[in-house]
Amino acid sequence: MPDYSIILWILCAICTVTGLSGLLLPLIPGAPVLFLGLLFGAWADNFHYVGVWTLMVLVVMTGLTYLVEFAASILGVKKFGGSRRAMAGAAIGGIVGLFLGIPGILLGPLFGAVIGELSLQRSLDEASRAGFGTVVGLAIGVAGKLAIGIAMVGLFLLVRFL
């Protein structure tokens, strides 16, 4: 092993733990940090075990975490009877919420969906049902992201040690 490999393994561990945490905490870009950690691990072994094909699969899985999160929140709104405007409101609320910290990230999509439904003259009950669907979708999205993140680590370990 080269002299710098211990530093790369330390960076691998730090980024992997931080990345997995970031899949749960909205302020840390979890999937990219996780990928970076696994890249450091591959680099530590001079890409002998984990090569370009495995890294490409990990890049696709990294992108998939964002798709899962977005689709889950939109489908949550739809499943609970929300309109297209509620889905758009949830997406806009999520983007605006990014700038308002953790409460904004959690409440932005909810308020966006509710406002979207209310803009169509729907009742508060219908609007709040769409907002609840957003929260359910976000929870499913987080679970999906975490599952993909764990699968990324599993793939890395499988390729590295088998």
Which residue type sits at 5? S
Nearest to 159 by CA among 61, 55, 63: 55
76, 137 contact by CB (below 8 A):
yes
Provide the domain limits for residue 17.
Answer: 5-161
38, 152 contact by CB (below 8 A):
yes
For residue range 33-64, what is the model confidence (pLDDT) as tens digits? 999 999 999 999 999 999 999 999 999 999 99
Total domains present in the chain: 1
Q: What is the rounded radius of gyration, in angstroms, for the C-alpha atoms of the chain?
A: 19
Euclidean distance between CA atoms 134 and 153, whole angstroms? 29
Question: What is residue 1's predicted lDDT score, i.e. its pLDDT?
Answer: 56
Within the chain, residue ranges assigned H as helices are 5-22, 30-44, 52-79, 84-97, 101-118, 124-161
Who's near 127: CB < 8 A, 6+ residues apart?
86, 113, 114, 115, 117, 118
Position of tokens 């739809």? Answer: 78
Q: What is the largest CA-CA distance in the chain?
A: 66
Left (φ > 0), alpha (ψ -120 to 50) or beta: where does 155 sit?
alpha
Nearest to 78 by CA among 24, 133, 19, 127: 133
Residues 83-104, mean pLDDT to the nearest whole number: 83
Residues 84-107, mean pLDDT to the nearest whole number: 82
43, 158 contact by CB (below 8 A):
no
Residues 132-141, mean pLDDT to the nearest whole number: 87
Instruction: Name the least confident of 18-22, 39-43, 73-77.
Output: 73-77
Decide if pLDDT at 85 tops 70.
Answer: yes
Greater model confidence, 77 or 117: 117
